[in-house]
Amino acid sequence: MKPIIAVTMHTGDKKLEINETYIQSVELAGGIPLCIPHLAAPEAEAVLNKVDGLLLIGGHDVDPYLYGQEPHHKLGIFHTKRDNSDLEILQSAFNRQMPILAICRGHQVLNIAFGGTLIQDIPAQWEQSFAHAQASMRDVATHTVKITGQKLGAILGAQQIRTNSFHHQAIDQLGEGLVTAGIAADGINEAVEHSDHPFCIGVQWHPEAMAPFGDEHSIKLFKAFIEACK
C-alpha cells in the first residue's frame, strides 16, 4: 500500500485550492495525496489517524500576532482560520512523530509552531537582500542555497543547490529544536530541520514546482519524504 499524505490547502476567494504540482510531486514520489480543508483539533486528529505523512503547502502570510508582533505596513493577506488549522495539525503530527514536509509558508508556520518569529517583509527589514520573489516561471531556479543541515544534506547529496524563490517573508528567530538546514547568500534562512524528529523538514523554496519537470534535488526531497512515510 502506498503511503497516504495529508496535504493542506490554500485559501482562495470563497474556496480552497491547491497547485497541481503538489499533487504531481507526491504521486511521482510514490505517495497518495489527500487534500484536506482547514480543520479544528478533533477533526485534525481524525485525519491523522488515516494518513502516513503531512505536507504543509505555501500560501498567504501568517498573522504576526501568532509570533508576538504587530503588523508591518508591508504585511500581506492572512487567514486566521488557516493559520490556526495549520498549527493544530502540524503540532498533532509532530507529537505522533509523523513525517512532515513544510514548504514556503509551511516552512514559516513550522518555525512559529516552535516559538520562532518571522521577518515580515524582506526588502523592508533585511539589509543587502537580493530578489526572493522571482519574476521567472515557477520551475526555474534563480538563486543558490548552501545546505547546512545533516538530514537535508544527506537527502540531497549536495552542499549547495539552486532553487526557485517566491516569498517576501522569512524565518527570523529560530523556534525551539529547529536548526538551520539551508541558507541563501544574503543570509536568509532557506531550510530547517528538527533535531528531535526523524523527518521534520521545512524549505522556503518550492520543490513541488520543480520536481515534475525533472529537477534532481526536488525529486530526491519528495522521494525521501515518501520513503519516511512508509
195 pLDDT band, cuts 50/70/90, is very high
Residue 161 pLDDT: 97
DSSP 8-state class, residue 199? S
Place of cell 511521482: 28
Catalytic residue among 38, 79, 104, 217, which?
A: 104
Per-residue cell: 43: 477533526
Task: Report the SS3 class of residue 228.
Answer: helix
Pick the catalytic residue from 143, 208, 217, 229.
208
Annotated catalytic, 208?
A: yes
Tens digits of residue pLDDT in 31-50: 999 999 999 989 999 999 99
Q: Which of 79, 206, 217, 229 is catalytic?
A: 206
Instruction: Specify whether 104 is catalytic.
Output: yes
Of 12, 70, 66, 26, nearest to 212 by C-alpha is: 26
Q: In 3D, which of 3, 58, 7 has the Cα closest to residue 224?
A: 3
Measure the N-to-C terminal CA separation of the chain; round to a whole number of Å: 9
Instruction: Give this prediction's pTM.
Output: 0.95
- Give the pLDDT mean for 121-135: 80
Q: Report helix angle 20-28 to 216-228, nearest 10.
A: 70
Strand runs labelled E in the chain: 4-7, 10-11, 16-17, 32-35, 53-56, 100-103, 118-119, 143-147, 160-163, 170-171, 178-184, 189-194, 200-203
Q: What is the pLDDT of residue 69?
A: 96
Q: What is the pLDDT of residues 76-119, one digit of tens each?
A: 889 999 999 999 999 999 999 999 999 999 999 999 999 999 99
Round the average pLDDT of the chain to a whole number and report it.
Answer: 95
Residues whose CB falls within 8 Å of the CB of residue 159, separated by 6 or more in sequence, listed in order: 146, 147, 153
Is residue 13 predicted with pLDDT exceeding 90?
no
Would you tell me how many other CB atoms lie within 10 Å of the CB of residue 75?
18
Least confident of 96-105, 130-139, 179-188, 214-223: 130-139
Q: Is the pLDDT of residue 121 over 70?
A: yes
Question: What is the per-residue pLDDT across 46-75, written as a single tens digit (0 to 9) for each?
Answer: 999 999 999 999 999 999 999 999 999 888
Please report which confidence band the pLDDT of residue 134 belongs to, taking 50, 70 and 90 as the band edges. Answer: low
Mean pLDDT computed over 163-185: 95
Instruction: Return all residues near 217 (Cβ < 8 A) that are at least 6 apart.
Output: 156, 158, 161, 207
Extents of the domains making up the chain: 4-228
Q: How far apart are CA 80 and CA 64, in angstroms?
A: 10
CATH fold for domain 4-228:
Rossmann fold (3.40.50)
**Beta pairing, strands 118-119 & 170-171:** antiparallel
194 as an active site residue: the answer is no
d(Cα 39, Cα 138) in Å, to the nearest integer? 29
Q: How many helices (H) and strands (E) does the chain have?
A: 7, 13
Nearest-Å Rg of the Cα atoms of the chain is 16
